[in-house]
């Protein structure tokens, strides 16, 4: 039995796997997909332009009330209802739309990022609305 045990252990470690052909090349992205990388990121973050249309601001106010006001408060001062219940106050929102876009997407600090919850168009609408909140 002592001679058989090492042989059984050696055979149990062998799963019969043999190397096969290399994996196939990656499939091309589906139509309408956004490629990863700096150029694609800049394109996805391209804003609606300097003019803030009333519809854009109204949409931004709506999205801000849902996603941002609970922590940042109605005026962006970091005094939302979550803070009044003990959550640490977030910093004031930055005024330039480009900086606001980065904060919304990456949400530095204690909150989670919103890049997977808000489209770039929604984030730009919020950013343009937040520009109007700046003192």
Distance (Å, whole) CA 30 – CA 80: 41
35 alpha carbon, distance to own chain's centre: 15
Q: What is the pLDDT of residues 47-95, one digit of tens each?
A: 655 556 888 889 999 999 998 899 888 888 888 998 889 888 887 776 6
Domains and CATH numbers, the chain: 58-133 (1.10.760.10)
Q: What is the pLDDT of residues 96-116, one digit of tens each?
A: 766 777 777 777 666 677 878
Question: Would you say 131 and 97 are in contact if contact means Cβ atoms under 8 Å apart?
Answer: yes
Ordered DSSP codes for 10-72: HHHH-------SPPPPPPPPPTTPPPPSHHHHHHHT--S-S---HHHHHHHHHHHHHHTHHHH
pTM, two decimal places: 0.60
């Amino acid at each position: 039995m002592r001679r058989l045990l090492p042989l059984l252990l050696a055979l149990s470690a062998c799963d019969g796997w043999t190397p096969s052909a290399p994996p196939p090349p990656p499939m091309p992205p589906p139509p309408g997909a956004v490629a990863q990388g700096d150029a694609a990121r800049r394109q996805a973050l391209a804003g609606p332009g300097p003019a803030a249309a009333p519809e854009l601001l109204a949409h931004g106010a709506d999205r801000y009330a849902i996603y941002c006001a609970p922590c940042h408060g109605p005026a962006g001062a970091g005094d939302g209802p979550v803070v009044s219940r003990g959550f640490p106050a977030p910093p004031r929102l930055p005024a330039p739309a480009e900086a606001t876009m980065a904060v919304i997407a990456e949400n530095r600090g204690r909150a989670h990022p919103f890049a997977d919850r808000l489209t770039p168009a929604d984030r730009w609408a919020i950013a343009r609305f937040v520009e109007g909140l700046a003192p």
